[in-house]
A and B are shown apart, each in its own frame.
Chain A
Amino acid sequence: MNRWRWMLVRWCVLLAATTALLELAACRAEKGTVSGCPSATAGGAVDESVMAFLSAARSLHHEADVKDRSGDRAGAVASLERLVAMPGPRATEVDEVLADAYGRLAEMRLETKDWAGADRDVQAGLEHAREPTYFRGHLLEVSGLIEEARAAALADGGDRDEATRARAHAVDLFERAAGVQEQVIERALGDGGARD
């Protein structure tokens, strides 16, 4: 009877695998629907390189968290620098991760008053967030913070003209950031981006 039992089990596993593959094919056949279908991308293929990149990025974010919590800011920055230096496949998810990581790097550099470095990170991040997404809005927000901090430092140093210019630039950036996030909200809540 054991022999029959194992035959049944094998048959069932085969049936399950076949059915699962059919279901997966049905998932991917739905136009643009990828969520819920494991590791599937909009292109239709299961993209292991994207999944590998996302996994590595997650690990490096965790590594940066651990280092940052233990007071090792330089180590945290180094972890994020490794993240943004990783070769990644061309995919929306990869661009979002990179934009997010550059934003985090810029915030860390801002705290150490490395404004030039922070600005470089923001500009690099914006290259990965050309559409008005949360990530673009956040990068603009961080850029505004950089200009705001720079304006304050310039004013403290007596350079009033340059401080005024930096402050005006900061106002522009904050306004743009708010505008992007407003669009993101409108889009998310389903009115197609219409404005009041």
Chain B
Amino acid sequence: MRSAMEGLVIDSRCVVCGLVLALSMCGGGRPEPPVAPANAPATEAAPAPASPGSTRRAPAMAPLEVPGSKAVAPAPAPAAAPPSEVSEADTVPNSREAQRTAARDELIRAERSLDASASDCAGACRALSSMARAIAHLCALVDSPDDQRRCDGATQRLAAARERVRQSCGACPP
């Protein structure tokens, strides 16, 4: 009897391990980023999304929790089960299965959303730092009214970009 119980326990553990492994294989996927429209600036084409596998030297971005932040975008709630005319005996197991499926889908969606948001904010912060450095150098080289005009325009765009990043991601790491 004891051996049979042990066998059952091992059986249960193995099944759980198998399911956890299977779920973990796809847990970190992220959705495709949006496609840029054709109204990008004339100097450069629409940017390509950063790929996940590169060995970059840029600092990582910790997602910050601010109101309206991309980094904390909640996953959509699972849809309510539609009314059914089948008997309760049939409904309860199906309902539980549907709840499990919905919960699993929600978890995957939330994880993907979080991954994508953290990645986007890290990329935005990194680009913001580079933009700020470039504009600082640009303005340091001002030598004419035209240069000054370019510096002023770039500084205004930097302020707008900084505000956009702040609203979406919170403060960037130093």
Contacts and interface: CB of A to CB of B under 8 A. Distances in A.
A4 B128 contact: no
B29 A19 contact: no
A132 B130 CA distance: 13
Contacts of B53: 50-51, 54, 93
Given A9-B14, A33-B32, A134-B127, A179 B112 contact: no
B23 interface: yes
B19 to A, nearest CB: 7
Contacts, number: 244
B50 interface: yes
Interface stretch (B75-83, B84-92, B93-101, B157-165): B157-165
Nearest to B8: A8
Interface in A14-28: 15-16, 19-20, 22-24, 26-27
Interface of A is mostly: helix
Given A38-B25, A92-B51, A187 B3 contact: no
A1 B7 contact: yes
Contact of A171 (B39, B128, B147): B147
A100 B53 CA distance: 13
B45 A132 contact: yes
Nearest to B46: A193
Interface residues of B, number: 76
A73 B105 CA distance: 50
B120 A8 contact: no
A81 interface: no
B36 A192 contact: yes
Given A171-B150, A182-B161, A192-B37, A35 B115 contact: yes
A6 B102 CA distance: 34
B6 A1 contact: yes
A189 to B, nearest CB: 5
24 contacts: A1-B4, A8-B7, A16-B22, A19-B21, A20-B25, A23-B23, A24-B26, A26-B26, A54-B54, A57-B55, A100-B57, A131-B46, A131-B47, A134-B50, A134-B130, A144-B137, A178-B158, A180-B43, A181-B128, A182-B131, A184-B124, A189-B120, A193-B37, A194-B39
Interface of A: 1, 4-5, 8-9, 11-13, 15-16, 19-20, 22-24, 26-27, 30-38, 50-51, 54, 57-58, 61, 92-93, 96-97, 100, 104, 131-134, 136-138, 140-141, 144-145, 148, 151, 167, 170-171, 174-190, 192-196
